[in-house]
């Protein structure tokens, strides 16, 4: 199903998630406490934070228990990186993530493509490697009972820029039951996409960019929490997806150091204001 963006669509209260990138300096239990204080319903954990593992020094079952006590679901682990490059070399890493994810009670492992190819490189090779990877990984996803959430990256040097291309690869793999899309509002904008795929979307990643600048110069470090001056129109994107039938988490994923280093009370206020733009 496809739908067009409609920023005027009414939006019902949804279930909100918090990605650990918002406060990477916090330990895992401190991050869970932050999400609880913010009245969120879920969190996303990461395997790419410097000096940390997915669960820090704790066992996965200890983190799952802490989240459960806090009333939080652990939605995903971000991410299997470079999933579409030599997929046979990623099988062990994927299985290790799936083992942890299953104990955590995760819904999915996020799959990110290679980012950094030459602008004039033949993208068809990457597309076909992506299809091959989705076929190869599918048995593991089936065995562990988790989804793979494919997250296109809209940067000009990304090997998989759009959700339309990702969805085509998923369908060509013949393994659609194991995969969903990540609709990242930042990458939707960078990739120049207009189409929305609410029925095929497993997760929405939300951030905002408030500085007017050439699209080619926008980077992850520009990503803040939602704002009325957001050039990405992230709130409008989310509303369009919900209007089209999306029922999953709305997850905040700001990479800006300004957000990451904000005092806790200011961060909580910014999160409240961001949520108000969505409801």
Please state at what angle helix 28-37 crosses helix 60-69, rounded to 10 degrees: 20
In this prediction the pTM is: 0.94
| Residue found by looking up tokens 């104990």 in the block | 103
| Residue found by looking up tokens 């990702």 in the block | 166
Residue 14 confidence class, pLDDT cut points 50, 70, 90:
low
Residue 119 confidence class, pLDDT cut points 50, 70, 90:
confident
Q: Tens digits of per-residue pLDDT, 20-51? A: 999 999 999 999 999 999 999 999 999 999 99
CATH code, residues 16-276: 3.20.20.150
Alpha-carbon span 172 to 176, nearest angstrom = 9
Q: Tens digits of per-residue pLDDT, 158-209? A: 999 999 999 999 999 999 999 999 999 999 999 999 999 999 999 999 999 9
Q: What phi and psi values does residue 123 have, to the nearest 5 degrees?
A: -75, -20
Which pLDDT score, from 0 to 100, does residue 32 have?
A: 99
Q: Tens digits of per-residue pLDDT, 216-243? A: 999 999 999 999 999 999 999 999 999 9
Q: Hey, which bits of the chain come out as E strands?
A: 16-19, 42-46, 73-80, 108-111, 147-150, 179-184, 201-206, 250-252
Planar angle of CA 22, 25, 31, nearest 5 degrees: 60
């Amino acid at each position: 199903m496809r739908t067009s963006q409609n920023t005027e669509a009414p939006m019902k209260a949804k279930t909100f998630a918090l990605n650990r990138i918002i406060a990477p300096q916090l330990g895992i239990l401190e991050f869970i406490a932050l999400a609880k204080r913010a009245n969120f319903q879920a969190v996303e954990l990461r395997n790419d934070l410097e000096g940390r593992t997915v669960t820090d020094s704790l066992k996965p079952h200890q983190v799952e228990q802490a989240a459960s006590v806090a009333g939080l679901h652990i939605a995903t682990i971000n991410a299997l990186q470079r999933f579409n490059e030599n997929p046979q070399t990623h099988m062990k890493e994927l299985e290790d993530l799936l083992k942890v994810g299953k104990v955590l009670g995760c819904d999915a492992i996020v799959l990110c493509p290679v980012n950094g190819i030459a602008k004039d490189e033949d993208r068809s090779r990457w597309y076909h490697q992506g299809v091959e990877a989705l076929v190869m990984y599918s048995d593991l996803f089936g065995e562990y009972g988790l989804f793979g959430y494919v997250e296109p990256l809209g940067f000009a040097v990304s090997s998989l820029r759009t959700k339309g291309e990702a969805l085509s690869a998923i369908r060509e793999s013949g393994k659609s039951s194991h995969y969903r899309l990540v609709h990242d509002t930042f990458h939707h904008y960078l990739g120049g996409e207009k189409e929305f795929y609410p029925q095929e979307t497993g997760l929405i990643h939300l951030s905002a960019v408030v500085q007017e600048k050439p699209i080619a110069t926008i980077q992850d470090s520009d990503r803040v929490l939602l704002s009325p001056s957001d050039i990405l129109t992230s709130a409008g994107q989310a509303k369009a997806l919900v209007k089209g039938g999306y029922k999953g988490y709305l997850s905040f994923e700001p990479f800006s150091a300004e957000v990451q280093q904000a005092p806790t009370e200011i961060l909580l206020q910014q999160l409240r204001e961001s949520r108000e733009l969505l409801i």
